[in-house]
């Protein structure tokens, strides 16, 4: 049987149009053709487009990965995280230091980057995830700044100048030094991130995060270890970020503390909230909007950020749950 619509906001025609559109995507029959067409388009795109377009698209895929990583923490587990940039800084710097300073192969640095993120996640998460409410937001906010000031002030990270000369990764004998290479690499990463997100969402662990997000006490009464389950989300999300950070370092070949400002954490969080916390296509959409809008509206010139802000305000006023939120429909099949 078809999926039934739960609530309709008749007062808001704008909302109705959007919901119709998403209904099309939520329809299982249409989903796969649309997905395949999109994939074909995205694979074909760099062959015909300018370097500028490829650069923007690569950046967009990067955002998709980090937004999905943050979505595990904020969307799935319902933990407010304000210092996510620090975790991709951890990944980027681990790869950067190992590669630029010690000349270690890029691929070898990846597991170290993940381990570093897990350690950082444990250090931040273990003491704070026991507490209720917004302590985590404050601690992650602080952690983000601590990481940035630390890398600015110690020698091994190159101080304020940062690290230069990070080696290009080599894959099947090809040195990845063209923007097109990175386009495909981040494209694959984004697809992997989407895949892992879906698998996690529809698993015992993913459900446990949703239970805790919905009602912490009830989840505990159902035998779910609230602290360790949250910590799990926090660590997995951090590892996503660090991995993306490592690839970011390889693409840029140079990183500095300015690549990991608080504003980056905010932009990632913004993409997650804007798109619809917890809903994977929603978060992807959020990442696309946050990266593409400023680029597409370059013609407007210096006012584009103001317009962007206005658009965000309107969206949040009319759709506080995000553009494409989780759980609008219930299925009555079977």
Partner 1 sequence: MALLEIRDLTLRFGGLCAVNNLSLAIEENSIRSLIGPNGAGKTCVFNCLTGFYKPSDGDMIFQGESLLNKKPHLITYKGMARTFQNLRLFKQLSVIENVMSGMHCRTSAGFTAAVLRTKVQQAEERRIRDYAEECLDFVGILDKKNYMAKNLPYGDQRRVEWARALATQPKLLLLDEPAAGLNREEKSRLIELIARIRDERKITIFLIEHDMGLVMKISEKIFVIDYGTKIAEGTTTEVRDNPRVIEAYLGKEEEDAV
15 in the Ramachandran plot: left (φ > 0), alpha (ψ -120 to 50) or beta? alpha
Interface with partner 1, residue 224, by CB under 8 A: yes
What is the closest distance, in whole angstroms, from the C-beta atom of residue 334 to partner 1 in the complex? 7
Helix pair angle (262-275, 304-318), 10° resolution? 40
Per CB under 8 A, which of residues 312..331 are in contact with partner 1? 326-327, 330-331
Q: Please, what is the end-to-end C-alpha distance for the chain in angstroms? A: 8
Q: What is the DSSP letter of 329?
A: E
Interface with partner 1, residue 208, by CB under 8 A: yes
Among 82, 236, 255, 272, binds partner 1 (CB under 8 A): 236
Q: Which of 75, 42, 73, 110 is nearest to 248 (CA)?
A: 110
Stretch that binds partner 1, among 218-226, 248-256, 264-272, 297-305 (CB under 8 A): 218-226
Interface with partner 1, residue 334, by CB under 8 A: yes
Q: Which of 322, 327, 255 is nearest to 67 (CA)?
A: 322
Stretch that binds partner 1, among 28-36, 48-56, 105-113, 194-202 (CB under 8 A): 194-202
Interface with partner 1, residue 226, by CB under 8 A: yes
Among 65, 118, 219, 243, binds partner 1 (CB under 8 A): 219
In degrees and rounded to multiples of 5, residue 77 shows phi and psi of -95, -10
Q: Which of 208, 321, 209 is nearest to 275 (CA)?
A: 321
Interface with partner 1, residue 274, by CB under 8 A: no
Question: Tokens for 188?
Answer: 């694959």
Q: How far apart are CA 88 and CA 66, in angstroms?
A: 8
What is the closest distance, in whole angstroms, from the C-beta atom of residue 232 to partner 1 in the complex? 7
What is the closest distance, in whole angstroms, from the C-beta atom of residue 137 to partner 1 in the complex? 22
Interface with partner 1, residue 147, by CB under 8 A: no
Q: Give the list of residues 6+ apart from residue 314 with CB closer than 8 angstroms, or none.
A: none
Interface with partner 1, residue 207, by CB under 8 A: yes
Interface with partner 1, residue 215, by CB under 8 A: yes
Report the half-sphere exposure of 174 (CA within 13 A, side-chain side).
9
Stretch that binds partner 1, among 63-71, 73-81, 104-112, 193-201 (CB under 8 A): 193-201
Interface with partner 1, residue 203, by CB under 8 A: yes
Residue 294 or residue 325: which is nearer to partner 1 going by CB? 325
Among 222, 300, 306, 313, binds partner 1 (CB under 8 A): 222
- Give the torsion sign (CA, 166, 171, 173, 179): negative
Interface with partner 1, residue 130, by CB under 8 A: no
β-pairing verdict for 174-175 and 329-330: unpaired
Residue 116 or residue 236: which is nearer to partner 1 going by CB? 236
Binders of partner 1: how many residues, by CB under 8 A? 33
Q: How far apart are CA 83 and CA 269, in angstroms?
A: 9
Residue 132 or residue 204: which is nearer to partner 1 going by CB? 204
Q: Which residue has the tokens 């943050």?
A: 70
Residue 48 or residue 332: which is nearer to partner 1 going by CB? 332
Within 10 A of 202 (CB to CB), how many other CB atoms are there? 10
Stretch that binds partner 1, among 119-127, 209-217, 291-299, 304-312 (CB under 8 A): 209-217
Q: What is the DSSP letter of 4?
A: E
* Residue ranges binding partner 1 (CB under 8 A): 6, 196, 199-200, 203-208, 210-211, 214-215, 217-226, 232, 236, 326-327, 330-334
């Amino acid at each position: 049987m078809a999926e039934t619509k739960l609530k309709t906001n008749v007062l808001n025609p704008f909302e109705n149009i959007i919901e119709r559109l998403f209904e099309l995507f939520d329809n299982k029959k249409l989903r796969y053709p649309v997905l395949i067409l999109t994939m074909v388009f995205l694979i074909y795109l760099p062959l015909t487009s300018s370097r500028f377009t490829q650069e923007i698209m690569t950046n967009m895929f990067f955002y998709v990965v980090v937004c999905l990583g943050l979505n595990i923490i904020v969307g799935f587990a319902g933990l407010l995280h304000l210092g996510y940039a620090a975790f991709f800084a951890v990944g980027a710097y681990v790869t950067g230091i190992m590669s630029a300073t010690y000349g270690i192969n890029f691929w070898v640095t990846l597991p170290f980057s993940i381990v570093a993120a897990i350690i950082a996640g444990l250090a931040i998460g273990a003491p704070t995830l026991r507490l209720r409410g917004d302590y985590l937001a404050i601690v992650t906010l602080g952690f983000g700044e601590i990481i940035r000031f630390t890398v600015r002030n110690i020698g091994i990270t190159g101080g304020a100048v940062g690290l230069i000369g990070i080696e290009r990764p080599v894959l099947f004998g090809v040195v990845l030094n063209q923007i097109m290479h990175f386009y495909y690499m981040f494209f694959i990463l984004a697809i992997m991130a989407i895949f892992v997100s879906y698998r996690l969402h529809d698993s015992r662990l993913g459900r446990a995060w949703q239970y805790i997000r919905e009602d912490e006490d009830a989840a505990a009464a159902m035998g779910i270890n609230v602290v360790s389950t949250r910590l799990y989300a926090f660590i997995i999300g951090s590892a996503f970020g660090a991995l993306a950070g490592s690839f970011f370092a390889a693409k840029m070949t140079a990183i500095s503390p300015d690549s990991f400002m608080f504003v980056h954490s905010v932009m990632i969080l913004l993409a997650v909230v804007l798109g619809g916390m917890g809903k994977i296509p929603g978060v992807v959409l959020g990442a696309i909007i946050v990266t593409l809008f400023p680029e597409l509206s370059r013609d407007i010139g210096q006012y584009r950020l103001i317009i962007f802000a206005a658009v965000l305000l309107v969206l949040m006023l009319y759709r506080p749950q995000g553009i494409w939120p989780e759980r609008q429909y219930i299925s009555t099949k079977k």
